[in-house]
Structure 1
Amino acid sequence: MSYFRRSGFRAAIASLGMMLLAFLLAIPVAHAAEVMRITFIRHGESTANAANIADSSVPGPVLTEKGQQQARDIVKVLGDNNYDAIYASTMVRTQLTAAPMAEYLGLPIQVVPGLQEIEAGIYEGTPESDAVKGYLQAPLKWLQGDLDARIPGRSTAGNSMHAWAVRFRRCTTTGTGMWPRSRTAARSCSGCS
């Protein structure tokens, strides 16, 4: 009789051990289903970049030959990451940068308004080397916690980092239909804003 009790006890312990193991193995899988990975890729060199001109206008300039090659080269680096979607801003240079990856993966480019670089404001059309000092004043303040700092000459609606963060959260929140929880390749100019 004691043999059956011991084997029943062993079976119960083994069953509990197996259930615990199954539970522990399921945790990373359940967690992985909740993780969204977004890869931001800066656009290739535009004609404005090549001319050293600040240009954040929409739709903006096209890519140079070098920028087109950069767009093709990124496919070699990231093309096998099994992305589920590709997003771009309304800026033509981001869409042109995304095109080789979209073709490689057989995915459409989904254009998302508001996913674009920070507007240059009064520095629009000026040499980048001259604009950088003034243009960077607001982003430096953002790093210091002043998320409402603005670049001079930008439109009054949504022109602070705080307003951008609200738009970005809206884009990445599940349920909006824009970015489902997935491995996503997003194209954007200079990060996004």
Structure 2
Amino acid sequence: MSRIGKTPVLIPEKVTVDLDGLIVTVKGPKGELKRLMPEGVSFDKKDNTVVVSPTTNKIHSRQRHGLCRALIANMVEGVTQGFSKKLEIVGVGSRAQVKGKNLVVSAGYSHPVEMIPPDGITYKVESNTNVTVSGIDKEIVGNEAAKIRSIRPPEPYKGKGIKYHDERILRKAGKSGKK
């Protein structure tokens, strides 16, 4: 059995979890998330916890055991606290700004790149070079942050580009002169 899957998911007071077969719905103060879970696991709601258990002892069921528990825990955390990813833009003339709900990034191309947020995602820009992507679904927040980073990934020679706030760029030495 999965060590992660064994631990029950605690449900805070302001959160409700509805289990309808393989569809899990979590409602909280920040919103509502609904997800279809993979087959091979069963869910039991006891008091203020959700317990995930594999239905069989086959490998697919055991693999999905910890996954489903982590997905439910992320859904509960998302509707209570939310998730956010911070990005930094490094480079002369590179900047970002919010126009309406859209994010406009000038990253050294001949044109600015405009990002349209999916439902439930908000962009926030501080000092033109720090972008925060926030929302209640951890998967969508991470995907949007990765899309923004892919506009201009950091390069290893000068470190220019868009990087995660806590990302460390391994630097390379430049060309060596003639000998």
TM bucket normalised to smaller: under 0.3
Report the TM-score when normalising by structure 1.
0.21
Report the TM-score when normalising by structure 2.
0.22
- Determine which structure has the larger helix proportion and give its number: 1
- Determine which structure has the larger strand proportion and give its number: 2
RCO comparison, higher one (Cα < 8 Å, 6+): 1
